[in-house]
Amino acid sequence: MPATRTWLKTPLATFTANDLDARGGLVLQDGLIVEVLAAGQQPSTPCGQVFDAREHVILPGLINTHHHFYQTLTRAWAPVVNQPLFPWLKTLYPVWARLTPEKLALATKVALAELLLSGCTTAADHHYLFPQGLENAIDVQVESVRELGMRAMLTRGSMSLGEKDGGLPPQQTVQEGEVILADSQRLIAEYHERGNGAQIQIALAPCSPFSVTPQIMSASAELANKLDVRLHTHLAETLDEEDFCLQRFGLRTVDYLDSVGWLGPRTWLAHGIHFNPDEIARLGAAGTGICHCPSSNMRLASGICPTLDLTAAGALLGLGVDGSASNDASNMMLETRQALYIQRLRYGAEKITPQLVLGWATKGSAQLLGRTDIGELAVGKQADLALFKLDELRFSGSHDPVSALLLCGADRADRVMVGGKWRVIDGQVEGLDLKGLIADHSQAARQLIAGV
């Protein structure tokens, strides 16, 4: 029996992340897009299922390329509401050090559900906390991703430079290099899927210049090269970080990155704000990727990523919500809107269009993760889709549907599909007890702050 073909028929509008005309809709089969129909076109053969999409704007599933799922437990915590990055981190590290497997599972599920409801189908998480009892943090996250039916790039983060050696993190959050590398190899062997349609992938992600040693940076780069996985870290987020690198290593951030073997197309960096023109040219020539995290950068007053300078130089660019303690939300549509507005402050209204930033959130983000099977509406791509309705009060009187998603502040998808399977229907995550999850997660958040 041939698999059922589904026609998402004549949508209200589409954003394809390419030049294709999809006004006639999409035909899906075996979890893939098999036809992209221009205005007035019909499927080449009859479809067993037809979904009338006339009220929906269809986008490729959004792709979040930097997050810290565990931080959903410490959103809007009063002691850090008005702090910049370094004091913010120092205040939160001791709280985060109390994380348990149960709390991490709840935090991850909340982050994923929130992302999914915002139209996000693939998320990269940067988990670098492995206190005693949480050595299998990534395994915990794998289970949550599978339960929600999303795709994820789970990065095995690390911190190896504690306070006593001049780093920022407290000693109870730091691991030895041998432990980090052994667990990295185990996770890649156990979970990393290759090729089109991969659900779980693993990358190596020493946390930042101020929390890991140059030795673990170099060793991670060698291991990633040997096992053909990607590399991720925070870089050039704040001027404090730049000062740290100059004082400790005698190098600016990009020089440091180069010195440990990270300047190349395998690497994508979170934030990438404080680069000079020479560094931007070097990043572009190396094909290194940058994840722009506008909400977090505004919340912590870190600065504005030079997006157009980076892409003009040849660097890849995607978007990320960053951690839910510096964004306080895990919503990719709102993040895309934020990118539109903050980048207009830097480059002007004419250059930063809704289509450009939606491209960063889809195809651009896919490129950061090294994926060519997601992020676009095209034949052969995964059927990862986000469908939005424009029937709420906020959209009344809007005229251009794609622009309206960002300008009028869409924040919740009506339907979301991953690999041809509906994961969100009528604005609800399939099979998820959302009220129960919120109750359990809220209790876990209170307990984490209280230290019980």
Contacts of residue 130, Cβ cutoff 8 Å, sequence gap at least 6: 137, 158, 173, 175, 183
**Closest alpha carbon to 231 in 259, 255, 215, 207:** 207
Strands of the sheet containing 415-418, edge to edge, are 13-14, 56-60, 385-389, 415-418, 421-425, 428-429
Q: Cα separation of 39 and 25, whole Å?
A: 8
Burial class (CB in 10 A: 0-12, 13-18, 19+), 178: exposed
Distances in Å between the alpha carbon of 192 and those of 34, 195, 204, 289? 27, 10, 11, 21
Burial class (CB in 10 A: 0-12, 13-18, 19+), 391: exposed
Tell me if 50 sits within 8 A of 6, measured CB to CB.
yes
Tell me if 327 sits within 8 A of 296, measured CB to CB.
yes
**Can you read off the two tokens belonging to residue 326?**
């510096």
Q: Cα separation of 14 and 99, whole Å?
A: 42
**Can you read off the two tokens belonging to residue 59?**
């986008």
- Give per-residue burial for 273-282: e unless 16+ CB within 10 Å, then b: bbbeeebbbb
Strand partners, 104: none
Contacts of residue 26, Cβ cutoff 8 Å, sequence gap at least 6: 7, 8, 33, 35, 36, 37, 58, 377, 383, 385
Q: Cα separation of 113 and 140, whole Å?
A: 16
What does the pLDDT read at residue 452? 84
| Domains of the chain (ranges, CATH numbers) | 5-60+375-429 (2.30.40.10), 62-369 (3.20.20.140)
Strand partners, 424: 416, 429
R_g (Cα) of the chain, nearest Å? 21
Q: What does the pLDDT profile of the chain (452 residues) look like in tens digits?
A: 467 999 999 999 999 999 999 999 999 999 999 999 999 999 999 999 999 999 999 999 999 999 999 999 999 999 999 999 999 999 999 999 999 999 999 999 999 999 999 999 999 999 999 999 999 999 999 999 999 999 999 999 999 998 888 888 888 889 999 999 999 999 999 999 999 999 999 999 999 999 999 999 999 999 999 999 999 999 999 999 999 999 999 999 999 999 999 999 999 999 999 999 999 999 999 999 999 999 999 999 999 999 999 999 999 999 999 999 999 999 999 999 999 999 999 999 999 999 999 999 999 999 999 999 999 999 999 999 999 999 999 999 999 999 999 999 999 999 999 999 999 999 999 999 999 999 999 999 999 999 98
- Ramachandran assignment for 168, one of left (phi > 0), alpha (psi -120 to 50 degrees), beta (any other): alpha
Q: Cα separation of 178 and 256, whole Å?
A: 22
Tell me if 61 sits within 8 A of 386, measured CB to CB.
yes
Strands of the sheet containing 32-37, edge to edge, are 32-37, 25-29, 6-9, 49-52
Tell me if 200 sits within 8 A of 192, measured CB to CB.
yes
Beta strand ranges found along 38-184 (DSSP E): 49-52, 56-60, 62-64, 120-127, 151-158
Tell me if 61 sits within 8 A of 120, measured CB to CB.
yes
Q: DSSP readout, 435-451? A: HHHHHHHHHHHHHHHHT
Q: Could you tell me where the DSSP H helices lie in 322-418?
A: 332-347, 354-359, 365-368, 401-407
Local structure of residue 393 (DSSP, 8 states): G
What does the pLDDT read at residue 2? 60
- Ramachandran assignment for 289, one of left (phi > 0), alpha (psi -120 to 50 degrees), beta (any other): beta
Tell me if 70 sits within 8 A of 52, measured CB to CB.
no
Q: Cα separation of 177 and 28, whole Å?
A: 46
Counting other chains too, the contacts that 77-80 makes at CB distance below 8 Å and 24 or more residues apart are: 77/325, 77/449, 80/325
Taking the alpha carbons at both ends of the chain, their separation in whole angstroms is: 56
